A = this chain, B = another copy of it.
Amino acid sequence: MAAEPKYLTGDKVALNEFIDKFDTFLFDCDGVLWSGDHVYEGVPETLQLLRSKGWVLTAPLTFTPHSPLTGKRTVFVTNNSTKSRGEYAKKLNGLDIPSDVEDVFGSAYSSAVYISRILKLPAGKNKVFVIGEAGVEKELASEGVPFIGGTDENFRRDITPADFQGIADGSLLDPEVGIVLCGLDFHINYLKLAHGLHYLRRGAIFLATNIDSTLPLHHDLFLGAGSVMVPLANASGQKPLELGKPSQAMMDAIEGKFQLDRSKTCMIGDRLNTDIKFGIEGKLGGTLHVQTGVDKKEDWQKKDAIAVPSFYVDKLSDLRHAA
C-alpha cells in the first residue's frame, strides 16, 4: 500500500524539502496552471520561483529557464492535442510564463514522434487519417508524416448516401492510410467517424493522442479526446494505443529528450488516471496533486483509487510559500 500523501500547503519546512528533492518538475497544464484561458492566481510567480531555485548554490542571479545549472527545470507535459508545441509556448508566454517550444511536450508531438521514429511504416502505407485539430496536423507535418482528414473542410460536413456507398466499397478511402490517429476534435462528425472506422476495419493501426474522458473549461467539464475517440473503439471493438499521459511511451520520449534523472523528477497534475499514474508508473521521485482541476483528494482517498500521489497542495501557488 502507498504511503499517505504528504500535505504541503502552509508547511514551510515540508515545502522546502519538497522543492530541494527535485531537479525537474513536469507540469500538467489544464487544471494546474489554468482553466481554459484563465491562468490561476500566483502561477507565473510560482514558476519563476522554481526556475530561480538553483540546485547549484552558486547559480547566477539571472537565469535562462532551460539550463539545469541555474534553477529547477520546468517542462509542460500536456495531453491537449489541439495546439502544437509552438502554440502552447505562445500561450504560456501570453500568460506571463516565459517559455519556448522546447519547454513543451504535448500528446500531438508525442504521437508524431511515435509514428515517425518508432512505427516507421513503409511509404505508400504510412499515411495518417487524423481525427483532431490543427495541433495534431502541425506536429505530424513537423515530423514529415503524411496525413489526411483533420481540419480539411471536405470532412467537416454531413455524411451523404454517396459517402456511405463509397466508404463501404472502399472507393472513397485512401489506400495509403495505415494509421488512424484520434485526438480532441471539436468538429467531430459522423463522416469522420465513418472514415476512421473503415480504415480500422481494413487493418489500420489505431492510435490516440490521449484518452482523457473530459476537458476542463470555464470551471466545468466538456468532452475530452477519449470521448471523441470512444465511438471508434465501441464500433470497431479495438482499443487504441494511447500516446499521452499516462502512456509510458510518452515518459520514455521525455526522458530521452530531456536526459532527466527520474528519481529527481516530480510530476505535478490534477488527474489521477493521467498525471499521477503517469508519474508513478514512470517511477519518478515523486508526484504532486493539486486540487484545482478534475480530481480532488477525495478521489485518491477512496479505497479503489486509481493512483495515489506522494504529495498534495491545495493549489500550485502554495509552493510559493517555501522560504
Complex Cα–Cα for A193 and B222 (A)? 9
| Contact (Cβ within 8 A) A223 B231 | yes
Q: Is A16 an interface residue (CB 8 A)?
A: no
Complex Cα–Cα for A185 and B190 (A)? 8
Q: Which residues of B contact A185 (CB under 8 A)?
A: 190
Taking a contact as CB atoms closer than 8 A, the residue among B221, B223, B232 that contacts A193 in the complex is B223
Complex Cα–Cα for A231 and B220 (A)? 17
Complex Cα–Cα for A228 and B235 (A)? 9
Q: Is A164 an interface residue (CB 8 A)?
A: yes
Specify which of A218, A224, A232 lies most central, judged by the most chain B CB atoms within 10 Å of its CB: A218
Q: Is A141 an interface residue (CB 8 A)?
A: no
User: Which residues of chain A from 16 to 53 have a CB within 8 Å of any chain B CB?
Assistant: 36
| Contact (Cβ within 8 A) B164 A217 | yes
* Contact digits for A178-210, partner B, Cβ 8 Å, 1 yes 0 no: 000000011111100110011001000000000
| Contact (Cβ within 8 A) A218 B168 | yes
| Contact (Cβ within 8 A) B224 A230 | no
| Contact (Cβ within 8 A) A201 B189 | no
* Contact digits for A147-166, partner B, Cβ 8 Å, 1 yes 0 no: 00000000010110000110
Knowing A189-B189, A190-B187, the reply to whether A223 touches B235 (Cβ < 8 A) is yes
Q: Which residues of B contact A36 (CB under 8 A)?
A: 164
Q: Is A65 an interface residue (CB 8 A)?
A: no
Size bin of chain A's contact surface: 35 or more
Taking a contact as CB atoms closer than 8 A, the residue among B168, B197, B226, B237 that contacts A219 in the complex is B168
Q: Which residues of B contact A169 (CB under 8 A)?
A: 218
| Contact (Cβ within 8 A) B158 A217 | no
User: Which residues of chain A from 219 to 266 have a CB within 8 Å of any chain B CB?
Assistant: 219-224, 226-228, 230-232, 234-235, 237
> How many chain copies?
2
Taking a contact as CB atoms closer than 8 A, the residue among B168, B186, B231 that contacts A228 in the complex is B231
Min CB–CB distance A172 → chain B (angstroms)? 12
Complex Cα–Cα for A220 and B77 (A)? 40
Q: Is A116 an interface residue (CB 8 A)?
A: no
Q: Which residues of B contact A194 (CB under 8 A)?
A: 222-223
Q: Which residues of B contact A226 (CB under 8 A)?
A: 234
Q: Is A93 an interface residue (CB 8 A)?
A: no
| Contact (Cβ within 8 A) B234 A227 | yes
Min CB–CB distance A145 → chain B (angstroms)? 25
| Contact (Cβ within 8 A) B234 A222 | no
With both beta carbons as reference points, the residue of chain B lying nearest to A191 in the complex is identified as B186
Specify which of A158, A164, A169 lies most central, judged by the most chain B CB atoms within 10 Å of its CB: A164
Q: Is A291 an interface residue (CB 8 A)?
A: no
Residues of A within 8 A of B (CB): 36, 156, 158-159, 164-165, 167-169, 185-190, 193-194, 197-198, 201, 213-214, 217-224, 226-228, 230-232, 234-235, 237
* 6 sampled A-B residue pairs with Cβ under 8 A: A164-B217, A187-B189, A194-B222, A197-B222, A213-B237, A227-B232
- The 7 A-B pairs of least Cβ separation, nearest first, read A168-B218, A168-B220, A227-B231, A227-B235, A227-B234, A230-B234, A223-B235
